């Protein structure tokens, strides 16, 4: 990150989600703070929730966010600050990441879900109940990528079918992992989701 000159302020997309090494956070924070046109930010697992909060404060204009891990211990004040940072981001349309998610911190995302059209949780180990609580805050959701396991298949199918009927009339694209599970789910959608036009 320190390779970017201080005079550089026109960055619109920054994606290092697949980088396995730690980054120089001070340099990252300075870069994000001076690039007021930044629309997409995807960070890797090394970025903590406290650091993510600091980045969001500098970039409330973001439309797409890929979070780092979501499991660090936070004080009540840190959790409140993180929720406020998400609440101030009014332009989010895409959210991904949550590499290592802890359910207790998912509520901080709720204020940022109002305008989301795409949730990519294909690497997030969320159970169906946690996902259900999140989805009710996403009335405009059109695309959902999730990671499913056979033990939660029935509950997840029921959840998404119900969500599609009640909360997201525009919902039309679901991708699940593993794909063998997805083949089974297509049968359900073909019968119950007339609005699902692309999978």
Q: How many residues does the chain have?
A: 199
Q: Does 108 reside within a domain?
A: no
Q: Is 94 within the bounds of a domain?
A: yes
CATH code of residue 65: 3.80.10.10
Identify which has the larger pLDDT, 92 or 180: 92
For residue 163, which of 186, 192, 124 has the smallest C-alpha distance? 192
Give 180: exposed, middle or buried? Use CB within 10 Å, 0-12, 13-18, 19+: exposed
Q: Give the domain-ending residue among 68, 98, 128.
A: 98
User: Would 72 be classed as within a structural domain?
Assistant: yes
Do 86 and 118 share a domain, yes or no? no
**pLDDT score, position 176:** 52
Residues 6 or more apart whose Cβ sits within 8 Å of residue 173: 142, 143, 144, 196, 198, 199
Range of the domain at 90: 1-98
Q: What's the structural domain count of the chain? A: 2
- Contact of 175 with 184, CB cutoff 8 Å: no
Give the domain-ending residue among 42, 68, 98: 98
Regarding whether 118 and 191 lie in a shared domain, the answer is yes
Q: Is the pLDDT of residue 194 over 70?
A: no
Give per-residue pLDDT as tens, 85-127.
Answer: 999 999 999 999 887 777 788 899 999 999 999 988 877 777 7
With H, G, I as helix, E, B as strand and everything else as coil, classify residue 49: helix
Which pLDDT belongs to residue 164?
56
Report which of residues 19 and 182 the model is more confident about: 19
Other CB atoms within 10 A of residue 77 CB = 8
């Amino acid at each position: 990150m320190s390779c970017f000159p201080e005079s550089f302020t026109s960055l619109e997309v920054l994606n290092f989600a697949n980088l396995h090494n730690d980054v120089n956070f001070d340099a990252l924070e300075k870069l994000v703070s001076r690039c007021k046109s930044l629309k997409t930010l995807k960070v890797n697992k090394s970025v903590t929730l406290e650091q993510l909060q600091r980045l969001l404060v500098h970039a409330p204009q973001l439309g797409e966010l890929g979070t780092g891990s979501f499991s660090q211990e936070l004080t009540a004040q840190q959790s409140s600050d993180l929720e406020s940072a998400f609440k101030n981001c009014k332009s989010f349309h895409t959210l991904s990441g949550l590499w290592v998610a802890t359910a207790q911190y998912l509520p901080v995302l709720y204020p940022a879900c109002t305008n989301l059209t795409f949730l990519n949780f294909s690497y997030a180990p969320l159970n169906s109940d946690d996902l259900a609580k999140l989805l009710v805050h996403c009335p405009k959701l059109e695309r959902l990528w999730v990671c499913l396991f056979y033990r939660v298949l029935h509950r997840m199918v029921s959840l998404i079918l119900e969500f599609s009927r009640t909360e997201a009339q525009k919902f039309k694209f679901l991708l699940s992992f593993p794909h063998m599970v997805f083949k089974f789910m297509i049968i359900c959608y073909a019968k119950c989701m007339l609005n699902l036009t692309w999978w």
